[in-house]
A = this chain, B = another copy of it.
Amino acid sequence: MIITDNLITSFLRTRSDTEEICAPLQIEDYVIQPIVDVSPPKWHLGHTTWFFEEFILSKYVPGFERFHPEYAYVFNSYYESVGKRVIRTDRGNLSRPTVSEVYEYRDYITSHLQTFLEENDDPKIRELVEIGIHHEKQHQELLITDIKFILGNNPLFPKYNDTFSENPGFDDDQISGYSTVEEGVYEIGYEGNKFCYDNELGRHKVFLREYTIANALVTNKEYLEFIEDKGYENSLLWHAEAWDWIHTDNIKAPLYWHKIDEQYHQYTLQGLKTIDYTAPVTHISFYEAFAFAQWKGERLPTEFEWETAQSLFKWGIRWEWTESAYSPYPNYKKAPGALGEYNGKFMVNQKVLRGGSVATPRDHTRPTYRNFFHPHLRWQFTGLRLVKDK
């Protein structure tokens, strides 16, 4: 159990980190929602704040006064109760509260929670705060990917800043070749006494065959070979639903790739650039990762293979698609009440990603961390690592 001072420090740092991420934005950038998967930055700022207000302050602080009676309605992502008004609250349709009001809301809640924590060391509260911190760190990553989508789909291609590197240190980290894991029964899932999500439990045994796994992620150069070999035109490489998707959405390359004057460019958080072919490919869907592996004659790892092998390679700059569907572990127990919706209710029609990305907050991920998205989504910093069978 971490001690109080550290919890408060951690809470305050998380709160300021979130705001730091938004510092380069113009007010206009906070407001829009270009696709349903991308939320307005303003909403992320409010929603992470509402979490502390709803699950801690309003429940445990006697006489606590909410900042605004309607904000629970505006910033709640959970199952809506029956609405009292004839109003659609699509996140991208709300110009109010203003950005400035949302920051006031943040300050109000941050300050009240700090005060409350200074006077209270109930372990149950501390656990809820810790969940809230991790919840906010998840939204820090989404803020970065959502901001990239908002700016990167603007015809003016504005940059986010001049310093965010999408490929930090990959030259050193990426080692060629494959590593082998022997057949056997392995333990999967979180073990330890730090924070983990419910979906990383219960820890359990799996039987794995021998396999070899690539030390390096697939690069832009390799992916370009797939494109130039007409990988997007060969139906035998694709799932049936993927084939429909690439035709309906006219998919011919990773997200953010633009062929300009016969040269591929890529929108990055530093603006539009020619593609760095030695960097690991990113912004691909599970469908594309799978088709690429089929084309290579190899395959994606399962999440169990990935977790078992992860100490053999460097990871953390791309979320790595796995073949595994997102399902509960044996003896998985949902938390009771609304917090129980946190992970369990998404355990269908999604694929597990492992690792972490350049957008993941430092120390937020771990070897047992299970990220998950629908197989067609590409706005996260996704990538892939290949596996071969004996």
Contacts and interface: CB of A to CB of B under 8 A. Distances in A.
A97 to B, nearest CB: 7
Contacts of A32: 31-32, 92-95
B96 A236 contact: no
A88 to B, nearest CB: 7
Interface stretch (A107-115, A223-231, A346-354): A346-354
Contacts of A337: 236
A238 interface: yes
Contacts of A240: 79, 341, 345-346
A186 B184 CA distance: 13
A204 interface: yes
A96 B330 CA distance: 48
A375 B326 CA distance: 14
B185 A207 contact: yes
How many A residues touch the partner, as a band? 35 or more
Q: Which of A96, A97, A258, A331 has the most CB of B within 10 A?
A: A96
Interface of A: 26-32, 34, 42, 70, 73-74, 79, 85-90, 92-99, 150-151, 153-156, 158, 185, 204-207, 209, 235-236, 238-243, 258, 286-287, 290, 299, 323-325, 327-328, 330-331, 337, 340-341, 345-349, 351, 375, 389
28 contacts: A27-B28, A27-B98, A28-B31, A28-B42, A28-B96, A29-B95, A34-B93, A85-B155, A85-B258, A86-B258, A87-B154, A87-B155, A94-B154, A185-B207, A204-B209, A207-B207, A209-B331, A236-B340, A239-B346, A239-B347, A239-B348, A240-B346, A241-B348, A241-B349, A323-B327, A325-B325, A331-B389, A349-B375
